[in-house]
Chain A
């Protein structure tokens, strides 16, 4: 039992919960960008929320399976076809062997998730199958390569499959909660207030490694001695540009750390498209 990509998307990867405690080896966290949507997808086909699945970025792939399977795709909004019939998102459905599943454009958000009733069998590194350019053989799903799937499921005779209603309003909110970063207090009061009191527009350059923010903060902070960084660390470079590190970011960095996005809000941020606005809101600790 297996699947293969017959048309690549923009950046299709296999992801799971990633490698959260490997920084001392220089290994990035990786893992799904939106664990809410990925967890929902897995639950719809009866798998553990953290099971490895396919993450799709903006433009999806066309896939083919060699056996009947239960499939679920979660997205905020996307165009998906089975052969040439539109299929519903956020609901499990059957795919017969040989049918072509075509995930076209993601209309709302950046990331969608595809999972199916069978376990992906790619190499596990540090307990995770998450792709990363510096660790795994493939950094994205290659075309016409057959990926084995271990079937552990039997489809029931039922015609009714599970579905969920995704709370898209959550994703519309501009608020991104933050802690203060190690070097924030080196900024002038004026710059600190600017950082926290206005909306910021996301630039065109959004990847699994980092999200760029359209910004030019005229600051005087110099580079720092290489120090720890994490997904959610907001760096400020020489040109005054803000970069928000995401799941595939390296473990250490040399730019001043202005803010730290709380982990819970990273999925909300991950689904903001280029041109969307965000507003940093400091968390209140009692």
Chain B
């Protein structure tokens, strides 16, 4: 039996009410899985302690933030170190609510695919090849960040990576699907941004209400499928029912 822990993160103090657990800085599916499990373990732990805490993570970092100042953040850090040293995240430990598989319709036609020609040219592919390669994989949602409900996705075909636009657009439309480097993503809300835009989805990724539940969460799997401009319009107008599973 190999008892050496697979990951050796370090705990550090961010400020009087925040701690951080840092791993080696890599994008890795197994590390992602481990981080999700540990995050859920910690959420349960702090809930049992009756502490109002948020645990959130990126690719290789978990942040723990307390709503109110704990009496000593140093003691909280020590306690967190102890948890990390003793916890066994077996395969049975849940990585949260059931991870969903979500299918998102995207119109890759004009006028939405503003930068598909540029992405095709950069990679010496045809526009159709870029689009086909974009909706072929099943993507992994690593975490939500940058904008409300914005998913950081892993799994983009390396043949369609493309650098950010030299000059960022002052307005990227809600639902726009883009590529930046070897990442792809979808804008849940309108925002400025430098991503290469290759399509648009008529789906709402974010219902803004007193309790916001983004459509996507860390751990979900996501795929895109192409739709026509007419279908896009029909979904937008809610003339057409849509099943996301």
Contacts and interface: CB of A to CB of B under 8 A. Distances in A.
Interface in B141-156: 143-150, 152
Nearest to B73: A285
A227 interface: yes
Contacts of A230: 14-15, 18, 63, 65
A25 B210 contact: no
B148 A26 contact: yes
A263 B16 contact: yes
Contacts of A286: 74
Given A23-B63, A182-B22, A285-B74, A252 B149 contact: no
Interface string A16-41: 00001111111110000000000000
Contact count band on B: 35 or more
Interface residues of A, number: 33
A22 B212 contact: yes
Contacts of B57: 24, 228
Contacts of B92: none
A21 B58 contact: no
Interface in A207-239: 224-228, 230, 232
Interface in A228-261: 228, 230, 232, 250-252, 260
A225 B74 CA distance: 26
B12 A182 contact: yes
Given A224-B25, A263-B15, A251 B146 contact: yes
A25 B214 contact: yes
Contacts of B144: 24-26
A127 interface: yes
Contacts of B54: 20-24
A230 to B, nearest CB: 7
B16 A135 contact: no
Contacts of A179: 13-15
Contact of B65 (A23, A28, A127, A226): A23
Contacts of A189: none
Contacts of B190: 134
Interface in A156-203: 179, 182
Nearest to A136: B208
Contacts of B184: none
Given A225-B58, A226-B58, A263 B148 contact: no
Q: Which of B12, B143, B149 has the most CB of A within 10 A?
A: B143
A262 to B, nearest CB: 6
Contacts of B13: 179, 285
A26 to B, nearest CB: 4
B58 A25 contact: no
B14 A26 contact: no
B91 interface: no
A251 B151 CA distance: 12
B20 A125 contact: no
A252 B16 CA distance: 19
Nearest to B211: A126
B20 A182 contact: yes
B27 interface: yes
Interface string B42-59: 000000000011111111
Given A26-B146, A225-B58, A226-B145, A260 B152 contact: no
B189 interface: yes
B20 A135 contact: no
B147 A24 contact: no
B171 to A, nearest CB: 11
B60 interface: yes
Contact of A126 (B18, B22, B143, B212): B212
18 contacts: A20-B65, A21-B53, A23-B145, A24-B57, A25-B214, A26-B144, A26-B214, A124-B210, A125-B210, A127-B210, A135-B189, A179-B15, A225-B58, A226-B145, A250-B145, A260-B14, A260-B15, A263-B17
Interface of B: 12-18, 20, 22, 25-27, 52-61, 63, 65, 67, 74, 143-150, 152, 188-191, 208-212, 214, 218
Given A24-B55, A232-B15, A285-B13, 18 more contacts: A20-B54, A20-B65, A21-B53, A21-B67, A23-B63, A25-B144, A26-B148, A26-B149, A134-B147, A182-B22, A225-B60, A226-B58, A226-B59, A226-B145, A228-B20, A230-B65, A250-B145, A252-B146
Q: In the A-B complex, list the 10 residue pairs whose CB atoms are closest, starting with the nearest.
A: A252-B145, A24-B56, A21-B54, A228-B63, A26-B144, A23-B56, A134-B189, A26-B148, A225-B25, A27-B148
